[in-house]
Chain A
Amino acid sequence: MAVAERWAIKTLLKDLITDPLAFFGFIVILIAFIVAIFAQIIMPYDPYNQLWEPLQPPSWTNIFGTDELGRDFLSRMILGTRDILFIGIVGSLGSTLIGVVIGAFSAYYSKYADYILMRTSDVIMVIPSFFLYLLIISTLRVRSVSLMVLMFTFTTWPRIARIVRSEVLSLKEREFVRAAKALGARDLRMIFRHILPNCMGNVIVVSTLGISTLILTAAGLDFLGFGDPTSVSWGTLLTKERKFIRVAPLLTIIPGFAIFLLALSFNVLGDRLRDILDPRLKGVGRRKKK
């Protein structure tokens, strides 16, 4: 790894330890991941089984109480972690991948392809995304997590493509690119190994912040009833328990608060990343050791 990257990671870790907010965010994300991965093991009870009295307040057996059908709420929340993380991370990853590829190619190759790609991304960005989600979900019969991920990917890649494109455009003319070309950089792919790493700073920040946006949007759609009603995603839980807020307010408070914490953590992470990566990594080339 080049010097710049190592330094960036060191600074990030140092920040995480010294800055209480960043540390908190990091811990939350870590816990979320662990819970999601080991959900089946951690869950105290079966989230789909109605074993108790409905709408019970927290007790020693049911730490979060029970929902309206007598299912243990804690287990439902634990299982729901998976859905949320999946949507956020996969969605953001997908759109980042597509955005980077399209943006890089669009900037690097012919003017014609560039123009077309930019107009396409314009059209996509102009359509109000939330509206589009509503339309698509309400017209298709399918309501699933994968659909959401697909939609998010489709509407978010233009943003990333634009960032990558402008960076690549400016880097194309820099000396080290020309030097590499003069040295007979074998394939354009090799040049992507030089140019792309320098764009990554901004891209990483936008992707990370995108994760929390996706989480919030997904939860919002769930809330409006456009999510998968059989899932235990936190947004769906929130919607279902909303009716019982007077009897069991905790059932509404907990999922929302969890969503809040998760979104907060990703936002904090993205923010710290931005502070570290933005001005400093720009323009530091990765030198290939022979």
Chain B
Amino acid sequence: MGLKRYIIIRVFQGILTAFLALVVIFFIIHIVPGDPVKMYFANAPFAKYDAEREAMWRAKLGLDKPIYIQFLMWLDRLFHGDFGTSMAIGGYGGLEVTTIIRQALLNTLKLWAISFAMILAVAIPTGVISAVHQYSKKDYMVRTGTIISWSIPWFWYGIIMIYIFAETLGWFPAGGVITLDPQSARFGQGTFGDTLWHLALPAIVIGTSSFGFLTRLVRSSMLDVLRQEYITTARAKGLAERIVIYKHALRNALLPVVTVIGLQVGAILSGHAITESVFGYPGMGWLMIEAASSRDYPLLMALCTMITSVIILSIIVTDILYAYLDPRIRY
């Protein structure tokens, strides 16, 4: 059947799925009561409200046309790379959606980079130890720890951490990205150190609540690998146990872990909305919540498109990777 054909089929399926998903989302957003024009007039006290203005905005945004026409218009703009202007953010004129998303994405990526580094640093060694010493007390503790990590309600955890570390102890700032007041900025305003200082608490929150999943993954993957025959061979060859574990077992164990992480990309992009909300951190997740509350159509659709495409892309890439590695999986 061939790898090429598989790839083509998968990509085509992916595009189809993406398109269907977007159609569904578009209809959900537009068909339900409440629209950006009304929200805008409700939220901006300085804007003069009159029927004429409302009609003008509607015509401008194309909201007076039937749904399927709106969808086609949107699709058309999409192909020209125009995601539109946000109604809600940026006030009267509205900021370009792409600008908004770019900034939010940057923020989320920053946060995620640090959290992820922390998680990896903890999860991999812990998972390995837990697998190697399976059924021992260490393993039991690790498994308990991971379950606890899974079960923590992030928002509550965030609030408590803010209360303890930011308000009571004053070690970290309570949120935001940079310090606005030059006097309370410990590391200078807007510098790298300042950013890190702000990111520390949210990163700790995300890190502790997410490391459980990854640790479990590493553990089960290692367990699978350690049973393989080539491990026994390596040991029989007389290699030091440490080399066997780290050089041979771990490398192979990490592959499924990487692919699963790849599938989590969608979750990453949703940016841990709740944590960002709690810390007032303007990332992708926070953006989603804002867009949803203000029914900011252009922003919402752009976010959806982006996230959906990334998810589908990651699924396709993962599938192709699997097909490449395992010739049995073809159509």
- Chain A interface (Cβ < 8 Å from any Cβ of B): 21, 119, 122-123, 126-128, 130-132, 134-136, 138-141, 212, 216, 219-220, 223-224, 238, 242, 245-246, 249, 252-253, 255-257, 259-260, 263-264, 267-268, 271
Instruction: Say whether B295 faces chain A, with CB atoms less than 8 Å apart.
Output: yes
B304 cross-chain contacts in A, Cβ below 8 A? 127, 131
Looking at the assembled complex, report how far the CB atom of B159 sits from the nearest CB atom of chain A, in whole angstroms: 6
- Chain B interface (Cβ < 8 Å from any Cβ of A): 13, 16-18, 20-21, 24-25, 28-29, 32-34, 143-144, 147-148, 150-157, 159-160, 163, 167, 266-267, 269-270, 273-274, 277, 288-289, 292-293, 295, 300, 303-304, 307-308, 311-312, 315
Q: Is the interface of A mostly helix, strand, loop or mixed?
A: helix
Which residue from A135, A212, A238, A246 sits with its C-beta under 8 Å from B156?
A: A238
Task: Give CA–CA (A266, B269) in the complex, Å.
Answer: 27
A131 cross-chain contacts in B, Cβ below 8 A? 270, 288, 292, 303-304, 307
Are B21 and A267 in contact, CB atoms less than 8 angstroms apart?
Answer: no
Q: Is the interface of B mostly helix, strand, loop or mixed?
A: helix
A223-B155, A249-B163, A260-B153 known; A126 vs B28 contact (CB < 8 Å): no
Task: Supply 16 further A-B pairs (C-beta < 8 A) apart from A139-B28, A141-B33, A259-B153.
Answer: A123-B17, A126-B315, A127-B21, A127-B24, A130-B288, A135-B292, A139-B29, A139-B34, A140-B32, A212-B150, A219-B156, A238-B156, A245-B159, A260-B153, A264-B148, A264-B151
B153 cross-chain contacts in A, Cβ below 8 A? 216, 219-220, 256, 259-260, 263
B315 cross-chain contacts in A, Cβ below 8 A? 126
Looking at the assembled complex, report how far the CB atom of B155 sits from the nearest CB atom of chain A, in whole angstroms: 5
Are B151 and A260 in contact, CB atoms less than 8 angstroms apart?
Answer: yes
A119-B17, A245-B163 known; A139 vs B33 contact (CB < 8 Å): yes
A260 cross-chain contacts in B, Cβ below 8 A? 151-153, 156
A128-B266, A212-B151, A220-B274 known; A135 vs B28 contact (CB < 8 Å): yes
Chain A residue with the shortest CB-CB distance to B303: A131
Task: Give CA–CA (A128, B268) in the complex, Å.
Answer: 11
Are B160 and A135 in contact, CB atoms less than 8 angstroms apart?
Answer: no
B292 cross-chain contacts in A, Cβ below 8 A? 131, 134-135, 138
Chain B residue with the shortest CB-CB distance to A238: B156
Are A126 and B270 in contact, CB atoms less than 8 angstroms apart?
Answer: no
A127 cross-chain contacts in B, Cβ below 8 A? 21, 24-25, 304, 308
Looking at the assembled complex, report how far the CB atom of B106 sits from the nearest CB atom of chain A, in whole angstroms: 20
Are A123 and B24 in contact, CB atoms less than 8 angstroms apart?
Answer: yes
A220 cross-chain contacts in B, Cβ below 8 A? 153-155, 274
B24 cross-chain contacts in A, Cβ below 8 A? 123, 127
A268 cross-chain contacts in B, Cβ below 8 A? 147
Chain A residue with the shortest CB-CB distance to B156: A256
Chain A residue with the shortest CB-CB distance to B144: A21
Are B34 and A135 in contact, CB atoms less than 8 angstroms apart?
Answer: no
CB<8 Å pairs between A and B, sample of 14: A119-B16, A126-B17, A127-B304, A128-B266, A131-B292, A131-B304, A134-B288, A135-B25, A245-B163, A246-B167, A252-B159, A264-B148, A267-B150, A268-B147
